Structure 1
Amino acid sequence: MSRQIVVGVAGELEPGQRKLAFIDGRSIVLFNIDGTIHAIDNSCPHNGASLASGQLEGCVLRCPAHGLRFDLRTGCMPGAGGLSLTTIPVRAVGLNLVVSLDGPDATPLDAPAGSATT
């Protein structure tokens, strides 16, 4: 089952903005790309570097550590093969932004997660 966790307020991220959120010791980053919110684990699959400050080029995020590029819509590197990010389902529910995380304790909506805007 998956847990539904509030990570912010719908509409708080303008296009091009991002937000870092912490959920049960897990760091995720939310991005608004042309009005669509995308969420990923804040960890590069290559060596675990934080992706929160990576350069965003359209839908493609560049890892600040080694320059690997990932499409935030799919989590995949452009082209064939390669590493992929962990993408996290995110949606607006009423006035909240909610992520769906896999876990043993499924609840309708957990309390808001601690977060900080970057």
Structure 2
Amino acid sequence: MTQTHNDTLAPEIIKRRLPEELPHWYYEDGWIRRRYRTSGWKGTLMVVNTIGHLAEAAWHHPDLTVSYAFVIVKLKTHSEKGVTEKDFALARKIEEVIQWQAAQTHPGVLEGTPDDPRFKYVKYD
């Protein structure tokens, strides 16, 4: 039988893949999860809105825990009652966008957020 993007992945496979593919994510209680630290409410809302846009564009929706200075993302494919390739794909896109730092990828072109606590909103890993 050929595996499809909707097939649930065994916990052993998930636990083996996460350190290689998504090192800041972990597997717990049937979900892959990630905690993003922010500098406060404004940063938290920016992270939530970014994740919301990506999830809607993918038509695959995470569960979120939202607090003053952090956001926890939980992914599993609800219809399949487990983690699938869809979850890994969306997690990679979320990670790529939230952790993007303009000055590192486009030095001299994009300035990036100033190194000043008044403007920092995400605490990068």
Report the TM-score, using the length of structure 2 for normalisation: 0.27
Q: Name the structure where strand makes up a greater proportion of residues.
A: 1
Report the TM-score, using the length of structure 1 for normalisation: 0.28
Higher-RCO chain (CA-CA 8 Å, sequence separation at least 6):
1
Q: Name the structure where helix makes up a greater proportion of residues.
A: 2
> In terms of Rg, which structure is larger?
2
